[in-house]
Structures are given as structure tokens and as C-alpha cells.
Chain A
Amino acid sequence: MGADWLLGGRLAAPFGWRASLRFKGRIALSVAAIALGVALGYAIHVINASAVDEFSRGLRVASGAADLSIRGPASGFSASIYPLVASAVMGASPVLELSLMAAKEDGPPVSFTVLGIDALRAATIAPALVGEAVEALDPLRDDTIFLSAALALRLGKQSGDRLTVRAGQLVQELRVAGLLGAQAPLGELGVMDIAGAQWLANDPDRISRIDARLPPEEPIALAIKRLRVILPAGVSVERVNDAVLAYAGMSRAYRVNLTVLALVTLFTGSLLVFSAEALTTARMRGALAILRVLGMTQREVMLALLRRAAVLGLAGGLLGVALGATMALGVTHYFGSDLGAGYFRGVPPASVWRPFAALAFVLAGGLAALVGALLPAIEASRSDAATALKASSESLRFDAFARPRHALVLLGIGTLLIAVPSIDGLPYAGYLAIACFLVGVIGLLPRLSALCIALIPRVGNVAALLSYSRLERSPVEAAISLAAMVAAVSLTVSMAIMVTSFRLSMIDWLEQILPADLYLRGTVAGQLDYLDADAQKRLTAIDGVRRIEFTRIDAVSLDSRRPKVLLLARDVDALTITDRLPLLASIKPVAGDVQVWISEVAAGAYGYATGDRMRIPLGELVVDAVVAGVWRDYGRQQGAIVMERRRYALLTGDTRANDAAIWHAENSSVASIVDALAPLADRLQWTTPGELKASSLRIFDRTFAVTYALVAISIMIGMAGLSAGIGAGVATRRREFGILRHLGLQRRQIGVMLACEGGIMGFVGAVIGVATGWLLSLILIYVVNRQSFHWGMDLHMPYALIGTFCAALIVLAALVAVVSGRPAMQGETVSAVRDDW
């Protein structure tokens, strides 16, 4: 009874909060690091989950009871396919999707999507799309439109109002016949009669898709097979849910990379817990020994230590989830739920509370702390009570550090993992390799830091030499202080190298991809916004235009579970292509073949190389093409295929264009061509390559904003971790300083010694961190990025940035050592020596 009380109460205090408070700086840091990792992970998860939820809800509503969706390229396919499908299934609902612009009295025009439907067909398949009409025939009229609540609000229109829309170059007045019901998709959406939509599209033969319902007894797989037989090869039959997969897949790699960054932050948190716990348990060795003598078992000691760490981790996790939810709200508010990358435009703010995910992330925080505390807890519980009581030494000996073999094995595994290809489109092996390298390097830290210290020439005065010898003799303690810093520095450096390489490669790429003087396109994005043959002729005839090249943008599905690949029909041929695209590889063209030049992304994602034949489904036909070249493209993450426009027009009969590139004549200028275009400002927009480059880089920087923020945070954590480690070490060395003072050292000399110690620590951390970071950046560039995004980049080292960063680290470390040593250096030397006795 008595012993229980002792153990359960006062004697257990060293594990409790009162003890913890003494190390509140380090504890706060560990909690903060864990919270940050959790917050980032949770925010990414929540934002993505709500974006996908909303998308699939919208899809469910829009497709209703449909089992299958018959789709073609983005330009659609012939309406003549509709009767084939309709007579082969139980219900078929044709849809034409358009993007329209609506004029707004106050403010810029609004662009929105319109679904052209046959209300009588949709009524049995997707009733939510059929508007609530006052007049029964209104859903069938070709000059009426039904607005979703969100769109009506945005446009300030209600039932009965007139709405002027522009489709491509056609302006048309529609009557708002009503609103879509409460079951309709939440976003900004309009619904029209399909004949009206075709009228607007000025193409009575095109439709975008057919939603089909099967008899309940027919298996979907069988129906797909059956339909494939009757449909032209260029039209695909997809399960409705495939679109959700394609949608989620669009941002998947980006998302997973961010999540891994979050995990790395969490890992840094683990390392901070590790060094905090290691140093704390070392200080508590005497108290722990007393507890052991009083009858506490090894197991109980260990569990008590772990419990404390778990509480810290869970606190960090809770804080992190709250922070992550706030982040998600902020991010969706300011960027849209695409994290600034442009993936999830127009999705309503995330619902940020997801109980199961929140629980998982809180637990992940706890787990991170437990992992960090495990080694110190084992170490502390194992130490022999008698020696611990007797020994005054606080030097640390970690068994884990004593066996470098494990660390070497990890490095070896990491090296092997680099060669492993992606699994399911994601570079899992690459991530694992990064983890192996990080943990391996940290395991080798005592030896690596000793090696680094040995490299430093022994020069200078007594104080400097003293700092060398102290660091040489306590490599494990140095390693523990350095662990979190090395992790943070290597993460920072690897990200910096990767982003710099990417950014510079992107600038090179922009130079090559934008050779013309002026770029022209319609003001609405989308298929409708075309320049017809007549418009092309007129543009070509403008004075001062030396050369004009048009592009028709289409999109084709090579795999129904992936986003459509862009098909760019450009005015190029085998000769001019080398000046237009940054080709990475090409072959001599074969006469007669349809040649395509595919982007690196398309090549990587679908496994094509130059010389391969590929089949491109293009509506009613499938084009058998030869991959004549692979080019670098950072612009289109879904992949792109370039085809000669002449060919495309021959194959599809479509001679329209979406974009144009203009070269001015010698005696003309961009300005004079722009002048000539000025009266068309509301129909066309144009931009110079300079503006395009600037806006591309702006988009790039915004996409990496999250990465930059994370890098900044990890630098701060790294710095804070280092100063806490050094500070804690120095502050408890009163006794040592007293002896040194007795031996005749001046206070100033001790200060120099501490500065040297700190500086050397900073230097060692920086060297190992930069080396590790460089290694990790290679994995990021050549393995992770290649496998997840399929784009290559050239390695560019940000020497100045890394140099400045390292110098700052070293100076900071020196400063922290001196500042935190100051209290220990003060007071009487005699009392200082006696103090800890």
C-alpha cells in the first residue's frame, strides 16, 4: 500500500508535468513540430477529400441512375452514335457539355458550364438535371436555360429574366425558365435543351457523352463488351465511377508528395522528441535510479516515460488537427481547394471536420512521439541502478548508436530502392529510400560528426582546442543534439535544390516553348471558343503578320480511369517541330504515317517511346499514329499529344482553331499588330511571350507556395531544435565551467570555447545536412518526380542559398551556445563547482 502510494504519487513526479516544465522549451518544440506535421497532413487530406466528395456527388447527380457513360474526345462525337446506344440499352440520355460566357451588368463576364440534355430522356436517368419549369414545355425549348442556385446568385438572375450568353463567337439571348432543383449539383451550372446547346455550339452533329442505363439483370462488364462491338473504336464505354478515379488521379501525385512532406515534418518532430527525451532522461538518471531501487521495474520506468511522450504527441496531434482544419478553411477560401495548383477549381469550401481522419491524425502524432521516445526510454530503463546512482557522469551512451551496421544496411536498402519502379503510379520506393537515407544518416551521426570534426584543422587558442576535444569525446551527445537539425537541414536543402532545378528547367522550357512574338486565344476557355476557317483567314491577312500558326485543342481518353490527354493539333510538320517543341528524343519520320509528338508526361504515364505506335481514339475513328518524338512539357500534367493540324483536319473534318501564335514581319512590330487587334478586345485575348512566361512562373510559385511555407517552417524547426539542443547541453555545465575557471581560464575564453563548440556543431550539422539533402534531392528529382509526374528536369544547385543558409546556421549555433552558456558562467567559481556535487 505504502509502496504503491510512493510509486503512484510523489516519486513518480520526475515523469510528471512538474518535471516536464523544466524542459518546456524542448517540449514546446517537439509538440509544435508534431502539430505542424499533423496539421499539414490533415489539411491536405481534408481538402482533397471534400473536393473529391463534391465531385463525385456532382457526378452522381449529373449521371443519376446511369451505369455507363459513353464518351469521346473533348470535342465530342457524332450524334449518330446516339441511336446505336439507345437501341442497345434500357435508357440512354445524350448530353452536350458547353462552356458559355454570360455578360454581367456589374463586373466581368462569368464563364460557366452548360449541360445540353434531352429532358425527356434525362427524366428517367438523371431527374435532378431537369429544371423545375412553370411551363411544362420549357425544358424542351431551345431558347431557355435553367440555372443552378449558385449560378443564379452569381449572375443575379431569376426565373423569367433574359440572359445574354456568348458561345464562341456567337451571342444569343436566352430566357431563364427556372432553377434546378435542390438535388442538382452544387456548383455553378446551367442546363439547356440539347438542341439549343447544339445551336449555340453551331454544330448540330456533336454530343459530348451518352449516359446509359442497363437492365438490372445485365452485368456491367458484359454490357461494356457488348457496346464496344457496336460503337466506333474512337468512342469509349466507361463505368460512371471511372470519372471519379480520373478526377482524383489528376491531383493524386501532387497530393501524395505533399503528404510525404507532412510525414517528413512529423519525422522531424519525432527526432526532436528523441533528442529532448534523450537529454532529459540523462539528467533524470539519478532520480530514475532511486525509483528503481525503491522497486519500480524496468518495464514500469519505460512505460512511464513512453506515456509522457505519448501525451505530448497526442497533444501535438490535437493541436495539429485544429491547426490543419483552420489551414484547410483558409486555403479553400484563398486558393480554392486546389492548394493553389489549379486542380480543384470551383469547389465549395471544404467541410473540415472528418472525425475518422481527425482521430487517425491525432494518433499519428502520438505515434510519432512514441517512436521518438522509444530509444531513450529503453536506454533509461536498462541502465543499472547502482552505477547510475553512483556515477556523476551524464554522458550518454546509446546502444543504438554503437552499432553502425544497422545504419549501413539501411543506406544499402535505400540505394537499392532507388532502382525500384513506381507502384500504381506512385513512387513508394522513392519515399522509402528517402526514409532509409534519413534514418541511416542519423544512425551514423556520431561517426559522421566525428569525421567532420576531424576534418577541421586544429588551430587557434586553448579555448578553441578545448571545444574540439570536448566534441570529439562526446560524439553521441553531439549526435543527439544534431539529429533533428540534420533532418531539417537535409529536408530544406533537398527541397531547395529540387524547386530551384524545377524552376530553372521551367524557365529554359518556357524559352523554347514560346518562340512566337504574340499569342492569341478566345476569351473563354473551352472547346467552343474557336476561330473558324474564316476568322483564321482574316487574322492571317492582318498587315505585319509574317507567320501565323494555329492550334486546335482537343482531349482524348487513353485510359478511362485517367484524365483525358490533351491533343494539340498544331501547324507544324516534321521540319518545323524542332523549333517549336523542346524535343528530348525524336526519330526520322516515316512517310505516310500519322506522326505525333508526345509530351514526356504522356510518354511516362502511358509507357510510349519514340518509334512506338499508339492508337488515339478520336470520336468515330481510332488513329494509328507513330510516336515521332517526345518533348518536355511542364504545362499539362495530364499529358499532351501534338499532331499536325493538317492531319487532324483531314481525320476529323474539324478546321477550327483555339489558339494562334503570330510572328511579326521585319517592318512591323508587336505593338502595331496589337493595335490592329484592339477592336476585338472583347472577343479575343492576346498576350506576349514575356507575359506568358511571367504568369507561368507566378503559377509555378503559387503551386509551390505550400512547399515554400513548409521549407521555411522546417528551417525554423531545425534552427530551434539545434539551439535547444546546444542550449540545454551548455546550461548544465556549471561544474565544468567552474573547473575551467579554477584552472585559470577567463570567462571570455570560456565564451570563445562555447562559441567554437556551437559553431562546430552548426558546421557539422550543416555539412551532413547539406550532403544528405543533396542526396535526397537527387532522389526527389530523378525518382520521385519522374515517377509521380513523369517530368524530367536538369539539376541546378542553389549554391548561394545553401551557402547563406549554412553560414546563418553556424553563426546562430555559436550565438545560441554563448547566450545559453552565460548563466552557467556567472557567479562564484567555487560555488559553481560545489553546486552539482
Chain B
Amino acid sequence: MSALPWLLMMLLVFVPAFGSAVAVAYPTVKAGQPLVFPRDHGAHPDYRTEWWYITGWVNPDSAQPLGVQITFFRSRPGIGEANRSPFAARQLLFAHVAIADPRAGKLVHDQRAGRVGFGIIGAATETTNVWIDDWSLALAGDRYRARIKAKDFTVDLTFSPTQPILLQGDAGFSRKGQRPGQASYYYSQPQLIIDGRITYRGAPMQVGGSAWLDHEWSSEVMDEGVQGWDWVGLNFADGTALMAFQMRKPDGTVLWRAGTRRSAHGATQPIEGSGIRFESRRLWRSARSGAQYPVAMRLHAGNESYELEPLFDDQELDARTSVGAIYWEGAVRVMKEGQLIGRGYLELTGYWQRLRF
């Protein structure tokens, strides 16, 4: 009979809850923490979200320029943290690739999503190396290489820097709201030279162009009151780079805004507060989602202002199955007094629904 209490205990194992149900403590983004490379090119899996975002113009001076956008998102959703399973969804990766083709009149795009694990989906911590199956973005030396086999096209491009890394905000500490935690670590690689091959519409073509890379990670980017944001990353023909963003409230008023301009010679000028202003010049309404986007803008940055003209209007991206949102992510021309002075990308989020992560 002595065995029975043991047996009972053994058989009545009751696990009250999965460990994963316990709230995850994400590290806070703090000021004064210098970015160290190449370590900070790699992933920061402890933080809640992270992305590597390449936007660029392919063959910009030809008769048929294309916009190209390649993004890898990493997310730590706070799931399965205590689960021993190699499948536990502790780290998720999402990827988008989109070609903005004026002839198609819309984005030709594809996406992938999956949980990190088994070596088939991963984000290295040593340097930039993220992959989902046969989609990858990796940094070798100072050159990025993106290899993507999408449904309707294939991209195999290298992006070579012509300028040093551009640290955003305060030496890479980029505030996104009033509260101290509402910030990200953020650096950019503007004025990248594109070289490689895009196979699209059945024909492989050798391409060139210029691109912009953002790498940003944080645990708490958005204030509860944020509806969405507008962002631009612009490469000017003279070598100048300009980044600007604003966080909008549901009523359209601005909660936070900031920007950085760096001249070809390396003079970096942070632009704070009301120095950045996005002014809508033209609205375009998507028949698919019903969302209305200010696809043409006047951007005031410090004492300069530029007109942003989209490559074409319908550059709306339906990424509901990966990041759960529909937004506008499009190639734009930078004009000043009717002159084309640069090219870049404009991102408009929160126009469909409030952006959530």
C-alpha cells in the first residue's frame, strides 16, 4: 500500500498554466547606449520588434524605372517562452518583397512568415543574416545581398554602401513618443548602390539603382494613442540623405516627429519637432481597402521643403497575413521647383486601420 500515495502524486500531475502565459520582460531602449558594429547589424532577439528595410529605385533613369522594397521583420510575441518545443513561436520572422511597376499600375508583391527554428528560418545575432526558407538578406563585408524567390519574380541584388552608416536620432537612439521607453535603436544606410538581377515578367534583367536601408529595433515604439505614421527615406542626386517621420493620432494631429539630414560631405543635421512637417497635396483612395492615402506630399524639413510625387498612385500593400495591416509603401520622386532632385520611398501607415503590432 505504501506505493499508492506516490502513484497518486505521480498520476495527478497538474500543470496550472504554461510558462509562456507569464508576461515577458522586454529590454527597454535607453539613451546613451552606443551601437556597436557589426554586432548591431545582427538581430536583437530580446527586443520585441526589429526590421531590416530596404527600399530603392531600380534603373531610375531608364524609360521603365521600378521601385523595389525588401523587408524582414522580426517579432518576439511573448509566446512559448517556457515551452521546450523547438516549434515554440518565441521568435517570428516576416518578409515582404514588392516591385512597384508603373506598367502594372500596382505593387507586385509576395510575403513569407514563419517561426524561427530548425535552421530553416532564422536571424543571426552576429551580423545581418535573416532568412525564411530560400528568402534571405545577408551582410557580407560591407555589402548586403538579398535573394528572394517570389511568386511572380525573382530578386538577387547586392547593395553596396557609398557613405558611412547614418545613426538616427541621438547616436542611434531614436525617440518615437513622449515617454522615455517609446524609442528605438535606429540606423540607416542611405545611398546604397544596387547591382544584380531581377527576373520579372519572364525575363532576367541586369539592374542598377540606388537604395536605402533601415535597421531598427525596439520594445515599445508606439504610444497607445498613435494611429499610424508617415515616413520617408530619400536619396538626393547630390548625395544628400533625408529621413523624416511623424507619429499621428487618430484625429490627424501629430504626436511625435523627427528627421535627419546628412549632406554628401557627412554633415549631419538632426531636425526636431516642428522642423518636420508632412503636408498632403493629393489624396488617393484605394478601391480595395477603402483607405485614403496622401500619396503626394509637401515635406518641410528644417528650412527646406520638397514636393514628393509617387511613381504611381496605387502602391498599397496588403500585408494582413504577415504583419496584419494594409498600408501604402511607395516609390516617390523628390521635386523642388519642378526639378527632379532625388528619389526615395514614402511609407503611410494607419490609414486603413490603427496600426497594431
Contacts and interface: CB of A to CB of B under 8 A. Distances in A.
Q: Do chains A and B interact in one complex?
A: yes
A120 interface: yes
A539 B80 contact: no
B88 to A, nearest CB: 4
Interface stretch (A196-204, A322-330, A597-605, A786-794): A196-204
Given A120-B115, A142-B80, A79 B11 contact: no
A338 interface: no
A79 B14 CA distance: 26
20 contacts: A80-B118, A94-B87, A118-B87, A118-B115, A140-B77, A140-B79, A142-B79, A142-B85, A142-B89, A171-B14, A172-B18, A193-B80, A193-B87, A194-B87, A195-B88, A195-B89, A204-B84, A535-B10, A679-B4, A683-B11
Contacts of B114: 118, 120-121
A804 B13 CA distance: 61
A83 interface: yes
Interface in A109-129: 118, 120-121, 123
B7 interface: yes
Contacts of B14: 171
Interface string B274-301: 0000000000000000000000000000
B85 A199 contact: yes
A195 B92 contact: no
Contacts of A539: 7
Q: Which of A194, A199, A542, A684 has the most CB of B within 10 A?
A: A199
Interface in B105-119: 113-115, 118-119
Contacts of B15: 170-172
A173 B18 CA distance: 9
Interface string A306-325: 00000000000000000000
A198 B82 CA distance: 13
A648 B193 CA distance: 60
Contacts of B92: 120, 140
Contacts of A142: 18, 20, 79-80, 83, 85, 88-89
B87 A86 contact: no
B120 interface: yes
Interface of A: 79-80, 82-83, 86-87, 94, 118, 120-121, 123, 136-137, 140-143, 169-173, 193-196, 198-199, 204-205, 534-535, 538-539, 541-543, 676, 679-680, 683-684
Contact of B77 (A80, A137, A543): A137
B1 A676 contact: yes
Q: Give the interface residue-count category, chain B.
A: 35 or more
Contacts of B13: 169-171
Given A142-B80, A142-B83, A199-B84, A86 B118 contact: yes
Given A121-B114, A170-B13, A543 B1 contact: yes
Interface of B: 1-4, 6-8, 10-18, 20-21, 77, 79-80, 83-89, 92, 113-115, 118-120, 133, 321, 324
Contact of A83 (B3, B118, B321): B118
Given A142-B85, A169-B11, A538-B10, 7 more contacts: A87-B120, A94-B87, A195-B83, A198-B83, A535-B11, A543-B1, A684-B11
Contacts of A123: 113, 321
Contacts of A538: 3, 6-7, 10
Contacts of A193: 80, 87, 89
Contact of A141 (B4, B20, B120): B20
A542 B3 CA distance: 6
A680 B9 CA distance: 11
Nearest to A121: B114
Contacts of B20: 141-143
Contacts of A173: 16-17
Given A171-B13, A199-B83, A87 B18 contact: no
B8 A534 contact: no
A524 to B, nearest CB: 13
Q: Which of A121, A172, A173, A538 has the most CB of B within 10 A?
A: A538
Nearest to B113: A120
Contacts of B86: 79, 204-205
Nearest to A140: B89
B79 A86 contact: no
Given A120-B113, A680-B7, A195 B87 contact: yes
A87 B3 contact: no
A798 B113 CA distance: 68
B113 A534 contact: no
B308 to A, nearest CB: 31
Contacts of B2: 541
A641 B120 CA distance: 37
Contact of B85 (A143, A195, A543): A195
A783 B227 CA distance: 77
B89 A680 contact: no
Nearest to A198: B85
A662 to B, nearest CB: 14
A141 B115 CA distance: 12
A38 B249 CA distance: 74
Contacts of B7: 535, 538-539, 542, 680
Contacts of A120: 92, 113-115
Contact of A143 (B1, B3, B18, B119): B18
Nearest to B356: A136
Q: Which 6 A-B pairs have the closest CB atoms?
A: A195-B85, A83-B118, A198-B85, A195-B88, A195-B87, A140-B89
Nearest to A127: B321
A799 B284 CA distance: 93
Contacts of B321: 123
Contacts of B87: 79, 94, 118, 193-195, 198
Nearest to A174: B18
A679 B8 CA distance: 8
Q: Which of A142, A541, A684 has the most CB of B within 10 A?
A: A142
B120 A86 contact: yes
Contacts of A194: 85, 87
B7 to A, nearest CB: 4
Contacts of B1: 543, 676
A71 B133 CA distance: 22
Nearest to A679: B8
Nearest to A87: B120
B115 to A, nearest CB: 6
Given A143-B17, A170-B13, A195-B80, A204 B4 contact: no
A199 B85 CA distance: 7
A123 B85 CA distance: 20
A676 B4 contact: yes
Nearest to B7: A538
Contacts of A680: 7-8, 11
Contacts of A82: 118, 120
Contacts of A83: 118-120
A133 to B, nearest CB: 11
B177 to A, nearest CB: 23
Nearest to A531: B11
A199 B86 CA distance: 10
A174 to B, nearest CB: 9
A620 to B, nearest CB: 16
B200 to A, nearest CB: 19
A535 B4 CA distance: 11
B349 to A, nearest CB: 16
Contacts of A543: 1, 3
A714 B202 CA distance: 71
A103 to B, nearest CB: 12
Contacts of B21: 143
Contacts of B18: 142-143, 172, 196, 199
A679 B21 CA distance: 32
A204 B85 contact: yes
Contacts of A80: 118
A123 B89 CA distance: 15
Contacts of A535: 7, 10-11
A380 to B, nearest CB: 75
A193 B3 CA distance: 37
